[in-house]
Amino acid sequence: MPTAYHIFVCNNQKSGVGDDVAKALKNALKKQGLKNLGLGGEKRKSRVQTCNCLDACKRCKKGPGAALVIYPEGTFYGAVKPADAAELVQEHIGHGRAVARLLLPE
Ligand code: FES
């Protein structure tokens, strides 16, 4: 059974940026042909969902973006803006590489 990527985006911000980030991630997955394909061309479904607070702000540099987590790795990103979506999808889902500049400290 192929593993799936699940991306949960906090949409607890007053600005609503989390919803915009989730929408941008969905669009990027579609555009890059990675909705049903992941790392190394392996068949992997990707789902993007908004969620209530991930309680990640205590650990993140509070910024204008949203926090999100990508499973199965459990990688937390912070201050993600819609403009970061294409890079996140290409690097993390497409190549299995974390985007260092957006990582939240452990
Ligand atoms: S507001 Fe929810 S993780 Fe920051």
| DSSP symbols for 8-75 | EEE--STT-HHHHHHHHHHHHHHHTT-SS--GGG----EEEEEES--S-TTTS---SSEEEEEETTTE
Q: What is the mean pLDDT of the segment spanning 72-77?
A: 95
Please tell us whether the domain made up of 5-102 is placed in CATH 3.40.30.10: yes
User: How far apart (Å, rounded) are the C-alpha atoms in residues 26 and 17?
Assistant: 14
Model confidence pTM above 0.85: yes
The percent of residues in the chain predicted with pLDDT above 70, rounded, is 92
Length of the chain: 106
- Our CA dihedral for 89, 79, 21, 67, rounded to 10 degrees, sits at 90
Residue nearest to atom 1 of ligand 1 (CA): 12
Query: If DSSP codes are grouped into helix, strand and coil, which group holds residue 94?
Result: helix
Average predicted confidence (pLDDT) for the chain: 90
Residue 89 is predicted with a pLDDT of 97
Q: Whose CA is nearest to atom 4 of ligand 1?
A: 57
Q: 71: closest CA among 44, 53, 52?
A: 44
Token pair for 56: 């990640």
User: Cβ < 6 Å from ligand 1: which residues?
Assistant: 10, 12-13, 53-57, 67
Paired tokens of 74: 């459990």
What pLDDT digit, counting tens, does each position of 37-74 carry?
877 778 889 999 999 999 987 766 667 899 999 999 99
